[in-house]
Amino acid sequence: MKLSENPDLQPILFGLFLSIYLVTVLGNLLIILAISSASNLHTPMYFFISNLSLADICFISITVPKMILDIQTHSTVISCVGCLTQMSLLIIFGSMDDMLLTVMAYDRFVAICHPLNYPVIMNPHLCVFLVFASFLFSLLDLQLHDLIVLQFMYVNSVEISNFFCEPAQILNLICTDIFTKNIVRYFVGAIFGFIPISLILLSYYRIISSIRRIPSSGGKYKAFSTCGSHLSVVCLFYGTSVGMYLGSAIVYSPRKNAMSSAMYMIVTPMLNPFIYSLRNREIKSSLKRLYSREI
């Protein structure tokens, strides 16, 4: 489905989404380059941030280039194989974002609640393992959907009320068994929704409890400032995703659902590098050094 049927808006949408895509890719690449080029940023927190930026680049690259091509060619058709590929990659990198934000909350918990043991607990082997485990959980999410959605290969024509192959819509269109569909939906929602959010909330509950015991206000601010960027990204990620699914559940409007999906799929990955660069002195210093080195 097109975001707008108005032909006069198509050039504006083309320029808008092309600009958003370029800004998102460039911003996240700069974050990765800044972290990899500065030795003082070779820490667990920045290792997870660079992986999150990589996942965001992949996440937005799955939908926006196809949408830009559709606007240019005036076509909204996608093949069955292309739709399955897009859906699968969306699940993998969307779940990666979900898992990495949970891992980053644990990293901040260890850094603030157990600062003396932080270098021992968050050693390089554990950091690599946590990222690899996040990827494995993402594959599990994909397999749960594929058990049902692979039936899509035998369907000749399906209309999708969105600008991309949204997994939830594909599941609704293909699976007629309500019981099986609900099992997949609730199981996936529990593993990749309720559990990560619960772990993040638990981590911040422990963080706030530890910060409250710090006697000086300066120490409290310094401790909590290290969580500010992560907390902003968590609120943005879960706020847009929950808003998208709640909105589609309460009021079914394909056009409104597509707009809320655009917020989740496009705007969130674009804002993440700005949040981490504007609120983080180390990353800003590294970016300035890179800029001065190029000059």
Q: Looking at the predicted structure, is the pLDDT value of residue 57 above 70? A: yes
Mean pLDDT over 280-295 rounds to 71
pLDDT at 167: 76
User: DSSP code of 213?
Assistant: T
pLDDT digits (tens, 9 = 90+) for 177-201: 666 666 766 777 777 778 888 899 9
DSSP secondary structure string for all residues of 213-231:
T-SSHHHHHHHHHHHHHHH
pLDDT at 90: 87
d(CA 149, CA 97): 22
pLDDT band at 250 (very low <50, low <70, confident <90, very high): low
pLDDT digits (tens, 9 = 90+) for 156-184: 677 777 778 877 777 777 666 666 666 76
Mean pLDDT over 207-215 rounds to 84
User: What domains can be seen in the chain, in order of their start residue?
Assistant: 7-294 (1.20.1070.10)
d(CA 110, CA 118): 6
pLDDT at 279: 65
Which range scores top for mean pLDDT: 76-80, 134-138, 226-230?
134-138
d(CA 25, CA 18): 11
51-55, 62-66, 229-233: least confidently modelled range? 229-233
Burial pattern 101-121, b for ≥16 Cβ within 10 A else e, equals bbbbbbbbbbbbbeeeebeee
pLDDT band at 263 (very low <50, low <70, confident <90, very high): confident
pLDDT band at 149 (very low <50, low <70, confident <90, very high): low
Alpha-carbon Rg of the chain, whole angstroms? 21
